[in-house]
Homo-oligomer: A and B are copies of this chain.
């Protein structure tokens, strides 16, 4: 049984490093803690990844691709803009329920390094589906012309949508204290309701 659970060392290290870096950040993480979590000797970390920074970059690269839903088939499909919004929001919030710590991690570490880690930045941008923004722009313009939705700046609309999806996860430690008396299971329940609340909130706002 332990046989099957055994991954090779390099993978065990990366998994442990994800946990620790995501929770403590680059500065707060300790190589010893990563080694303990991976149940290996600290020296092995350096054997496989040379330095803490390189290990961090491997983690960041592996994780940052999840910050935006990769392929947004919805935008290319035949359904109405309202259905597209519903699908996007639901998929995205599902993704965040499965990976709740990623947004705050990525945001924090992106900020931490305005211009450092050039290699990391390239990977990050490469991982992003930047075209998503252009697709949103075209889609919104088209629907305004058709008269399906009211006149609205596509960037504000898009960022409103992202904000309402991401912030409840990134800002959880804050919101849970402000509005949920720090009750964790109540907050989980709240997050599960959210997909349909957010998409209907948006649609109500823009539908003519």
Contact = CB atoms under 8 A, between A and B. Distances in A.
A160 to B, nearest CB: 5
Contacts of A155: 179, 190
Interface of A is mostly: helix
A156 interface: yes
Nearest to A29: B27
Contacts of A24: 27, 112
Contact of A130 (B157, B166, B178): B178
In the complex, the count of this chain's copies comes to 2
A55 interface: no
A173 B170 CA distance: 14
A107 B173 contact: yes
Interface residues on A, range: 35 or more
A160 B164 contact: yes
Contacts of A160: 164, 198, 201
A159 interface: yes
A162 B167 contact: yes
A179 B25 contact: no
Interface string A144-186: 0000001011011111101110111011111101110000000
26 contacts: A25-B28, A67-B174, A111-B173, A130-B178, A133-B178, A150-B204, A152-B201, A153-B197, A155-B179, A155-B190, A156-B201, A159-B164, A159-B175, A159-B179, A160-B198, A160-B201, A162-B175, A163-B163, A163-B164, A163-B167, A166-B167, A167-B167, A167-B170, A170-B171, A201-B205, A204-B206
Given A25-B25, A133-B179, 8 more contacts: A27-B28, A111-B173, A132-B178, A156-B197, A159-B164, A160-B198, A160-B201, A204-B205
